[in-house]
């Protein structure tokens, strides 16, 4: 497999939170898992946070394009919560860029861009903290050490303001991707209106796939192995040498992906 998986974190999140997905590299030889970092946190903590989705997309796409060595690169993009929108916007840019073959987008823990209208950034600190606690979005150590709270909240608020200002193209202006969209969500996630998830179809010319997991908004950290397995299944059918039988530690046994590429329209 010669495939790159780009991962985009949730609001306020750092790339390191998704380090567990690097295990997929051992499961699928030839796969590269690239954990994308937003400005204002992690290894980019000295950089200012982005104020608009367009600016963030510019930065992320620019970094990916700069890494391209001139050969066509098979690519899958995974994003959780805010990262689902970042993955979508970057995928659109990459589909229009020479040297990239976008095979799939995996949108996790996020309603569609057309149904998002949160205004959470307008909450005062007490309301904002209560909202994040209800989602399971504040690590216990932060709550135990209030001195860390302002440092923790700054990038979260910046990202929430970015999401509040995000206005995706709609209707005739909406650029449909050729890559399919796989939608993951936690069945107990208060942020998800499951009956609206089919609206993700508006962003892709191919049929979408919706998959439910046990858990809430951060279900993927509660059930990381199940999420790894689901992502691994998608990556396996995005593998250029279709029909190969491989030892797949995601599944724990040999997996034949015979005809998988044809079944998904030879992505």
> Which tokens sit at 223?
């059930």
| Tens of pLDDT, residues 67-115 | 987 788 899 999 999 999 999 999 999 999 988 999 999 999 999 888 7
| Residue 262 belongs to a domain | no
| Residue 97 belongs to a domain | yes
Instruction: Write down the pTM of the prediction.
Output: 0.87
| Tens of pLDDT, residues 182-205 | 999 999 999 998 888 999 999 999
| Residue 248 belongs to a domain | no
Q: What is the CATH number of the domain that holds 176?
A: 3.40.50.1820
| Residue 163 belongs to a domain | no
| Residue 107 belongs to a domain | yes
pLDDT at 44: 95
**What is the distance between the alpha carbons of residues 90 and 95, in angstroms, rounded to a whole number?**
9
Nearest to 16 by CA among 52, 45, 47, 49: 45
| Residue 72 belongs to a domain | yes
Nearest to 7 by CA among 95, 97, 152, 108: 108
> Which tokens sit at 5?
């998986």
Tell me which residue range forms the domain holding 192: 3-117+168-238
Under DSSP, the state recorded for 14 is: -
Which residues of the chain carry a pLDDT beneath 50? 241-267
| Residue 155 belongs to a domain | no
- Give the other-Cβ count within 10 Å of 178's Cβ: 14
Under DSSP, the state recorded for 204 is: B
**Mean pLDDT taken over the chain:** 86
**What is the distance between the alpha carbons of residues 199 and 185, in angstroms, rounded to a whole number?**
14
Helix (H, G, I), strand (E, B) or coil at 18: helix
Q: In total, how many domains does the chain have?
A: 1
* Alpha carbon 124 to chain centroid, angstroms: 28
| Residue 159 belongs to a domain | no
């Amino acid at each position: 497999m010669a495939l790159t998986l780009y991962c985009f974190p949730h609001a306020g999140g750092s790339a390191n939170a998704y380090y567990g997905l690097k295990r997929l590299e051992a499961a699928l030889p030839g796969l590269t898992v690239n954990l994308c970092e937003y400005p204002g946190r992690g290894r980019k903590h000295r950089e200012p946070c982005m104020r608009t989705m367009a600016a963030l997309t510019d930065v992320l796409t620019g970094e990916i394009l700069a890494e391209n060595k001139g050969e066509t690169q098979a690519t899958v993009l995974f994003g959780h919560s805010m990262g689902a929108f970042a993955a979508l916007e970057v995928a659109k840019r990459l589909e229009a860029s020479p040297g990239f073959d976008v095979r799939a987008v995996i949108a996790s823990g996020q309603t569609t861009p057309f149904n998002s209208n949160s205004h959470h950034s307008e909450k005062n600190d007490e309301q904002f903290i209560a909202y994040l606690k209800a989602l399971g979005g504040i690590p216990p150590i932060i709550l135990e050490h209030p001195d860390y709270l302002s440092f923790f909240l700054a990038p979260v608020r910046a990202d929430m303001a970015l999401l509040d200002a995000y206005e995706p193209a709609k209707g005739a202006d909406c650029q449909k991707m050729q890559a399919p969209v796989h939608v993951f969500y936690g069945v107990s996630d208060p942020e998800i209106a499951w009956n609206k998830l089919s609206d993700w179809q508006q962003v892709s010319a191919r049929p979408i796939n919706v998959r439910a997991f046990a858990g809430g908004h951060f279900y993927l950290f509660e059930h990381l192995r199940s999420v790894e397995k689901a992502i691994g299944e998608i990556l396996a059918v995005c593998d250029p040498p279709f029909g190969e039988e491989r030892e797949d530690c995601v599944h724990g046994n040999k997996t034949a992906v015979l005809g998988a590429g044809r079944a998904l329209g030879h992505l």
